[in-house]
Structures are given as C-alpha cells and as structure tokens.
Structure 1
Amino acid sequence: MTLVRTLVALVRAMRPRQWLKNGFVVAPAVFAGHAFDPPALLRVGAAAGLFCLASSAVYLVNDVMDREADRCDPVKRYRPIAAGELSVHVALVAAVLLASAAVALGTTLGRGVLTALGIYLGLNLTYSLGGKLVVVLEAMLLATGFVVRLAAGALAIDAEISHWLLICGFLLALLLAFGKRVPEVSHPTSRTPRYPAAFLTEAVTLLAGVTLVAYVLYTVAPDTQAKIHSRALLITAPVVLFGILRYLFLLTREGSQDPTAALLADRPLLVTVVVWTVLAGVIVAQAGGHP
C-alpha cells in the first residue's frame, strides 16, 4: 500500500491537469493546414507528450524548492511534497528520470525539437532557481515557455510558423501568467512575486486588449491571407474575443488562480477553445495554406 500511495502522490505531483498547456505544441499543425493530417498530428502529438514529461519534471523540482513556503499557503499546502505524501528524494529522482526520458525520446523527432526541449528546461530551471521572485520577469519566463512550445510543434512537422502566431502566443501566455497572480495578492508567500493589486489589474486589462488586437492583425495581415488564399480567418476573431472576456469574467468573479482549472471547470470557455480550434483548422485546411 505504501508503494501505491507513493505512486498516486507522484502522479498528483506531476500535475497531469497542467498537461493541457502543452496543447500549444499542436497549434502550428492547425495553422499549417495539417489539422486533419494523421502523420503530422502524430508527430506534434508525440512532441506534446515529450513536453508533458518535461513539464512534470519541472513541477516536481519547483515543488521541492517551494515546499516550505507551500506549507503556509491555504491551497498549495495540499500538494503532495508540501503535505509530506511524497519525499524529496523520490520527487527529485522522478524529475531526473522524466527529464532524461523527454530528452532521449526527443532525439527521435529531430534536433529542432530536442533543442526546444532543452531551452524549455533551461527556462524553467531559471524560473525555479529565483527567476520566479522577480516581478514581470517571472511572467515573461512563463510566457516564453509557451512560445518554445509553439516553435517545437512547428519544428516537429518541419512547418513554417508565422511571427504573428508567436507574438499572439506570447501575449496570451503573458495574460494568463499575470492573471494567475491576482489571487496571490491576498496571501503572498516567500516564494511568490509581490505584485500590487493595481498593477495586476492594469496589466491584465492591457494584455487582454493587446492580445486581441494582435490576433486580428494576424488574421488580416497580407502575408497570412496570401498563404491561405482566404480572408475567412478573420471570422475566428469574435471567438477569441469571447474567450478572453470569459476568462476576465472568471478572474473577476472567482479570482481563479489556475487558468487550466478555469478552462476545465468552465464549460463556455472550454467550448470556446474547441470551437476556435475546429473553425481555424477547417478554414486553413480548406484553403490549403500555412500562415
């Protein structure tokens, strides 16, 4: 039973719910016209799986380093390492094995994906070793990790990726990173950045608007329309607008600390993501382009 409890605690500490973030790896396939191409989806799916392994290793290391502070947090104290359900030794060994497996398997998808994995692990090591305590920088490190995911997806299928898509991905991730800090203002710990509430409100509001504008500019950019031979991508903009506003609504109403939990718990937001993915995939696939 002890082994079973340890394995259950380990899986919880790996945060499988957070693997949803690695869906960013799949996005380039959608915008490269491969949304319904099984071989391409298999490769980006494999790349996303490697990032799941790498991100779980990162979570384990981060929780080991934050365990003392987490014990003082009303929510984080229930994390397996902070709660004493998973030993530091087991967590670190598992982290090394997961990261090693991700890197070893990454060689099968090419040097580009392997490099992206290395950069991702390096960014998160920087974050865990102190970058997370530097206001603004910590959010930018997290957002850059999502850009690396996008790049990895493109590299996995040898597809060209638009600089607009990278910009939109970075801005959206930055919005979610700052939104995640909103609830922490009321119960800061020694391992969380200290943001004034007014700053977070302004940052989230600004980024919500800038993200939408960047996405609209991406859909109407001559380069984008030339590659997909269509202007239809613009019709996905209202879907993006609804998704952003819905997230802001949840943030204001509930102070949702975890964007992933908000997505899984809120049906309208989840449906919005699915609708956008299908709509964008169909538009690009029918046009036969790759913005």
Structure 2
Amino acid sequence: MREGILSLHPLVVDLDGTLIHTDMLHESALRALRDNPFDTLRIPFWLLKGKASLKKNLADRTDFDATSLPYNQDLLDWLKQQRAHGRKLILCTASDHSIATAIAEHLGIFDEVMASDGATNLAGKHKAETLEERFGHAGFDYVGNSRADLAVWQCARRAVVVNGSANLARKAGGYCEVTHVLPSPGRGFTTWCRVLRVHQWMKNLLLFIPLFAAHQFTSPDTWLTLFLAFISFSLCASAVYIANDLLDLESDRQHPRKCKRPFASGLVPAWIGVALAPLLLLASLTLAQHAGGDFLPWLLFYFVVTCGYSWGLKRIILVDCLILAMLYTLRIVAGAAAAGMGLSFWLLAFSVFLFLSLAFVKRYAELEVQLLNGKQKTHGRGYYSSDAPLVQTLGIASGYAAVLVLALYLNSDAVVKLYRAPEFVWGAVPVMLFWVSWMWMRAHRGEMHDDPLVFAVKDKASLLAGIVFAGVLAIGTVGWPW
C-alpha cells in the first residue's frame, strides 16, 4: 500500500476485522464456552443490559494472549510508517476497553485508546458521534472494514478501507476521500477444503476395513451402505474439526504450522464456523439414518467422545493418546455396524495398538517442534518437552505390540478359513515391522507431519509398504498361480 500524504490530522484505527483478522467478541464467547460453559447461559441476560455490558462481562471472565492474535501485517506496517512520520494514532474500537488496552500495549504504536466501557458500545453511530465530538467534523482520518463504519466515514476527512468489498469502498468514497484500499484475502475452494479438513476424510476409509477383513466384496448393497456411512462420518468429523479449531485458536496460533489454519489465521471468520458446524452435523445424522444397521448409535458415540476430547480430554496426558486410538478404532467398529458384520478380537486388538502408536507419533512430533522452539510446555496440553523420550518409547512399544498381535493372528484357525495360501500372508509381518520402525525413525529425525496418516499418504516408503502389504494379502487370498 502506497504511503499517504503526511497530515497532522489524527489517524483513527478500528480493531475487529481491521487491525486484526478476527472479532474479539466472538473469540471471547468461544473462550467462555471452552473454559466456563455455564457462563454462556448468562449471555442472554448480559445482552439485555446492552452489547457493551455483554462485552465487558465476557472480557472480565476470559483471558487472551495479545501476542498471538492474527494481526493485519500489511496495515500494521503502514501504521508504523505513519507514526514514524509524526502521525498520531488512535485505536478506536467497539471491543471492551480492557481488550483494546492490552492490544495497544502489546503493539506500542498507539497514542490513545477509545473503546466500549460496559455502558456505551462504541460502534457505528456511537463511534461517529464520539469521534466528531472529540475531533470535529472531518477532523480525523479513519481506518475501517465494514458497513457499520460508513457512519464514521460520513464525518471523517479521509478513509482507509481494509478487508472490505469494492462496493463498501465505493460507498465510503461517497462520504469522504478514500486514500487506500486493502482488499480482504481471497477464500477460494482450497480454503473451504481446509476448513472442512477434507484431506482428513481419508481416515474414514477405515470404515471399509471390516469388509476387506471378512473378504466380502460382492454385495453392492453393502458397498452402498458403507459409502453413505463414509460420507456421514466425514461430515460429522468435519463438524468436530471445526469445533475443535474454534476452541483451540490460541494453541493453534502458537504452533508454527497450525497458525496457518483458516480460523486461527483469521482467513475465515469464527462466526462462519459456528454456523457451519451444526449444519454439517445435521447433514451427517440425516445420512446416517439411511446407512442402516447400528451405524447411527456408533456415530453419535464418536461425536460425544470427540466433543469430550475437544473440551478437555486432550489436555490430560496419556488419556489424550488413548482417546485418539479409540477414535480411530471406532471408525472400524462403525463400519462393521453399518455393514452388519461381526468384529474379531484380532482386528480390534491390532487396531488399538497400531493407532495408539500413531497417536504417540503425533504427540511426539508436536513435542519435538516445541523443543526446537525453546518451549518447555505445550500450550493447551499436559506435556512437557522433556516428556518426548518417554512418549517415543511408549509409541514404539505400542507399534511393535500391534505387529505381535498380527503375527499371533496369522497362526490362528481363522487365517486358514479366509486365505487359500496363508503362508504368503506371513509376509505382512516384516512389512508392518518396517513401516512402524520407519514412521518412528522419521519422527525421531523431526520429519513427521503433525498427523502421521497424512504424512503416510505422501511418503513414498509408506505408500510402497502399503502396496506390498496389500499385495501379500491378495496373493494369500487367491493363491499363487503355478
């Protein structure tokens, strides 16, 4: 953005959606929901006293980290230039005064803070009247982002439009001179895929595992049922991912990669997530009813467990990894329920140990990142960076336990009934030994993605191991043609 003409007129800057890519009222409400759920029941009563009262009560009951907010860096750099040229900067926001003050103190570029005080909601006409009374008509320049700021631009000398549409800029230009326009970052198809975490849907292919394990490939009705179950489970998982992202904003912002997630970065407003998650869940439940079998109860159980994980279980050491392993295994159980199939002890035992190992991989990778960044404790988790060696040991032991279960299964009578050439199936054991060891080797070297399954589908060695594993099982099933 080009530098504006030096002016002695003060530059008044809005906060929500302008200086930061988020809304502090929405974030305060989400923190209250996470930390003090019963306080959210009091929101309607606070709102009866006015929006300013609501903001003050939420601000008084929640904490936030001003250093981790998604600031509009382009605007912030321009404001620093204006201040360097002697311009007086004023932060004027409808957010509560305590929040605005904390942000101003962190940035250190504002000469004054004007904000809601619990009685007056400093937005729209109230903000315009306050600024006009203080500086006079056309006695200041104003930086804003929404239709509510049009009332302020009517009494401003110049306008800077940030994160607003072209139509908003035209309307602002009808009241005063628009000197700068900073367009909002685009939200294309890729952004919405990231919001839904579509790449995580591949985990739900686990629903088909019982079908393959039982060698029942010929029923079109079963395939259709599992397909509906897959879509239903995926939509439910996306709803939970959104809820988890909204409740974990501060922790994500302190992570080198998670800080780029759509909600954490402010690319997508939090209110969209609040509206989208229930719609996804409703669509998921509707499809689940058509999937048949006992799929719906297991889907609801998955939803309840994941909500418990998001609200607090993920902050309890070891329990978080056990819950993650359970959530992976629940997908297999739900697939069997949808298809009306039974589950063997061997498949459940193998799944629990394998997914527990992968859960420990995920946590170990996060601890390694924290250690490299010089942090002794992970934000929003119960682990210390020094716990990494123990987590590694537990994870490797769990992975090898899964391989042991697989080896014992191959010595059972069930293998003889399912496979024509069971001796070939033993080749799956060294493949699994290699893959478990390989995953932990990559994690130890700091090369592991936050999610090991996402890493595995992109890793050539893992893909090759998967092909060999499937090939060995296929040969064992149909026999070797000689």
Q: How high is the TM-score relative to the length of structure 1?
A: 0.89
1:203 aligns with 2:394: yes
Range moving further from structure 2, 159-168 or 234-243: 234-243
Q: Which has the higher contact order (CA 8 A, sep 6+)?
A: 1
Output one character per residue of 1:13-42: Cα deviation in whole Å (capped at 9) or x when no partner.
211111121121111111111246544333
User: Equivalents in 1 of 2:467, 2:227: separation in Å?
Assistant: 17
Unpaired runs of 5+ residues, structure 2, are 1-164, 166-183, 371-376
Query: Does the 8 A contact of 1:31 with 1:281 survive in 2?
Result: no
Unpaired runs of 5+ residues, structure 1, are none
Q: How high is the TM-score relative to the length of structure 2?
A: 0.55
> What residue identity is the alignment partner of 1:176?
L
- Tell me the equivalent position of 2:323: 141
Structure 1 residue 204 displacement after superposition: 1.5
User: Equivalents in 1 of 2:275, 2:366: separation in Å?
Assistant: 30
- Tell me the equivalent position of 1:241: 433
User: Equivalents in 1 of 2:210, 2:325: separation in Å?
Assistant: 17
Range moving further from structure 2, 24-33 or 190-199: 190-199
Secondary structure of the equivalent of 1:220? coil
Secondary structure of the equivalent of 1:193? coil
- Tell me the equivalent position of 1:114: 296
Correspondence list, 1:89-128, <5 A = 89-128=271-310
Residues 162 and 47 (structure 1), Cα distance of their counterparts in 2 relative to 1, 3 Å cut = same
Residues 252 and 18 (structure 1), Cα distance of their counterparts in 2 relative to 1, 3 Å cut = same
Structure 1 residue 231 displacement after superposition: 2.7
- Tell me the equivalent position of 2:311: 129
Which structure carries more helix by proportion? 1
1:263 aligns with 2:456: yes
Query: Does the 8 A contact of 1:182 with 1:255 survive in 2?
Result: no
- Tell me the equivalent position of 1:177: 359
> What residue identity is the alignment partner of 2:324?
L
User: Equivalents in 2 of 1:91, 1:52: separation in Å?
Assistant: 16
Secondary structure of the equivalent of 1:82? helix
1:61 aligns with 2:243: yes
Structure 1 residue 270 displacement after superposition: 1.4
Output one character per residue of 1:149-170: Cα deviation in whole Å (capped at 9) or x when no partner.
1111112221222111011111
User: Equivalents in 1 of 2:317, 2:311: separation in Å?
Assistant: 14
Query: Does the 8 A contact of 1:179 with 1:251 survive in 2?
Result: yes
Q: CA RMSD in A?
A: 2.3
Q: State the percentage of identical aligned residues.
A: 27
Residues 204 and 46 (structure 1), Cα distance of their counterparts in 2 relative to 1, 3 Å cut = same
1:192 aligns with 2:381: yes
User: Equivalents in 1 of 2:312, 2:272: separation in Å?
Assistant: 23
1:10 aligns with 2:192: yes
User: Equivalents in 1 of 2:227, 2:412: separation in Å?
Assistant: 29
- Tell me the equivalent position of 2:205: 23
Residues 97 and 278 (structure 1), Cα distance of their counterparts in 2 relative to 1, 3 Å cut = farther
The match for 2:408 among 217, 236, 242 is 217
